[in-house]
Structure 1
Amino acid sequence: GTTNKFYVQIGFDHATWYDGPSNSRLLHEQGWDGLLLDAARMNYGMNLYMEEIDPDSIARKLTQHDVPNDPDYLSIDLTGCDLQVFLAVIQDFSPRVISVEYNSNWELGESVTNICTDAYGGQYEHTLGDDIFGASLTALMKAGKKNGYTLVTTEKGLEVFFVREDLVCDNTEVDPESFRPDTGIKAGWRHVGEDDPLRQRWTITYDP
């Protein structure tokens, strides 16, 4: 069910609803209200605001835009610091359903995420077409479980979907092994090997 019919999409990447796919477009067409944030796009007519998106400020920016504490749907689609922004948001907000972009290159069981800022203060940007962006399905699953969210399904190769634990029926948890076909997918990104300095600089094992 729904409560406030409010969506938040962090990472929009289009100037209008119809320039490309959107996780919240159908909800908008069904009459929901919401907020769209992107680092490079703005369109006030559709409540799309240009904001720098980082874990340290994202919760404050959602508050500034009057996002309710428990929006019905939150989408995080950054091809970068997805896990860190996910964790930052759920420290202050309690969305009912959350989707987060995941990196399907990693196999099930590999708990890996890229870092947002390196030891020299550099910011990760997915501009080289590499396959180390974002976080693995396993890393996101661990983060969700530790913070009261249950992984229920995926859009294969693209998004994982969580439901807040208090909304999940008893004895309905999905076996993590069922997500194995949704991982280890080589999607054409430039492969960064284990010994590559780029991988060593920008990825870590995630162990909450």
Structure 2
Amino acid sequence: MTQRNWISRISEHESRHSSQGMQDGVIDFICEHIEISNKYCIEFGYDSTSWDDCLPNTKYLVHERKWDHLLMDGNCHNPDINLHRHFITSENICELFQQYDVPKEPGYISIDLDSTDIWVTDALLKNYRPSFFSVEFNPNFPIDAAMAFPNDKDEFWHMDRVMGSSLKALNMMARNHGYSLVYAGCYSTARHHDAFFIRDDLIEQSHIPSLETFSNTHVPLHAVCVNGRENIYLDYGVWLETKDLQKSRAAVPKQWKKYITGSFFQRLRRKQKMLMHKLGFAQ
């Protein structure tokens, strides 16, 4: 295997030190193979007030590689670990980066909001050029579904399959900014569903895998949607062409929605569980 093909070997290095899944080994392997000018990482959201009670993507970089860092979350705050409480949106992300003096070319950014990730990432990439970044995708959608969660700060994850955007939609967004998809975690084996993208000028001599390479990442995860929120999704391809919210929603194929609503019996079972919970019965 030549150096040109190192990207195809990333999945062989999946391992976990402190991350939720096997992201640590992926991050370490990427750092060994690309030039990183600023040893600085950012992670949001970070759902804890300490390094020990969370499973972050950046802990290994900070503790083992001694990178500088910034952590942000909508609920948690601890200046002692440079963690700051902010409700992150596509409108304020660049202002927040400026507020905390984030370098224009940070080494790595980890994005995990369970909702508007695609829009926040799109906004920050207009002003910041990380060497590489990761963003959580919705694994319920197959590789051909360009489904985007809406850019609406009032929409959030309800602990079901309506969470974030599909891998294809994220790849389309990243390509528009000069980044290539190099790895996507299959939840069944890697215990995470983060997609990793590297800036194109850093991998000019490397072989880039096709999107279809990651078709195995389609894994049903979380409870089916039973409240009609499958209809908030956009066809990201149509959005890029029209910038029209209504047209983008209307263009979503029914089949794509079925991946988050499930079958009739799955929905019935979900409603039964919700009713039992509401009535106070143990599950």
Q: TM-score, normalised by structure 2?
A: 0.67
Shift in Å at residue 64 of structure 1? 0.7
- State the AA in 2 paired with 1:199: E
In 1, the alpha carbon distance for the partners of 2:156 and 2:112 equals: 14
Query: In structure 2, which of residues 224, 227, 231 is the aligned counterpart of residue 191 of structure 1?
Result: 224
Q: Secondary structure at the match of 2:126?
A: helix
Shift in Å at residue 20 of structure 1? 2.4
Query: In structure 2, which of residues 210, 221, 234 is the aligned counterpart of residue 204 of structure 1?
Result: 234
Shift in Å at residue 49 of structure 1? 0.4
The alignment of Structure 1 onto Structure 2 pairs a total of residues equal to 198
* Paired-residue identity, %: 28
- State the AA in 2 paired with 1:68: P
- Cross-structure match for 1:40: 75
Shift in Å at residue 170 of structure 1? 3.2
- Cross-structure match for 1:125: 156
Shift in Å at residue 116 of structure 1? 3.2
In 1, the alpha carbon distance for the partners of 2:36 and 2:205 equals: 19
CA contact (8 A) 1:113 1:133 kept: no
Q: Secondary structure at the match of 2:51?
A: coil
Q: 1:171 to 1:2 in 2, by over 3 A?
A: closer
In 1, the alpha carbon distance for the partners of 2:36 and 2:50 equals: 25
Q: Secondary structure at the match of 2:95?
A: helix
- CA RMSD, Structure 1 to Structure 2 (Å): 1.4
In 2, the alpha carbon distance for the partners of 1:171 and 1:49 equals: 37
- Structure number with the bigger relative contact order (C-alpha 8 A, sep ≥ 6) is 1
- State the AA in 2 paired with 1:33: D
Structure 1: state its 5+ residue gaps: none
- State the AA in 2 paired with 1:154: A
In 2, the alpha carbon distance for the partners of 1:93 and 1:173 equals: 22
Query: In structure 1, which of residues 145, 150, 160 is the aligned counterpart of residue 180 of structure 2?
Result: 150
Structure 2: state its 5+ residue gaps: 1-34, 188-192, 241-283
- Cross-structure match for 1:15: 49
In 2, the alpha carbon distance for the partners of 1:152 and 1:11 equals: 22
In 1, the alpha carbon distance for the partners of 2:177 and 2:36 equals: 21
C-alpha offsets along residues 45-81 of structure 1, whole Å, 9 cap, x if unaligned? 1100001100001111111100000000011011010
- Cross-structure match for 2:266: none
The structure number with the bigger radius of gyration is 2
- Cross-structure match for 2:4: none
In 1, the alpha carbon distance for the partners of 2:49 and 2:37 equals: 28
C-alpha offsets along residues 23-48 of structure 1, whole Å, 9 cap, x if unaligned? 10000112110100100001101100
4+ residue runs over 4 A deviation: none
C-alpha offsets along residues 148-178 of structure 1, whole Å, 9 cap, x if unaligned? 1000002223100000011113351102111
In 1, the alpha carbon distance for the partners of 2:85 and 2:125 equals: 21
Which protein has the bigger strand share? 1
- Cross-structure match for 1:136: 166
In 2, the alpha carbon distance for the partners of 1:4 and 1:138 equals: 29
Q: Secondary structure at the match of 1:91?
A: coil
CA contact (8 A) 1:38 1:50 kept: yes
In 1, the alpha carbon distance for the partners of 2:102 and 2:44 equals: 12
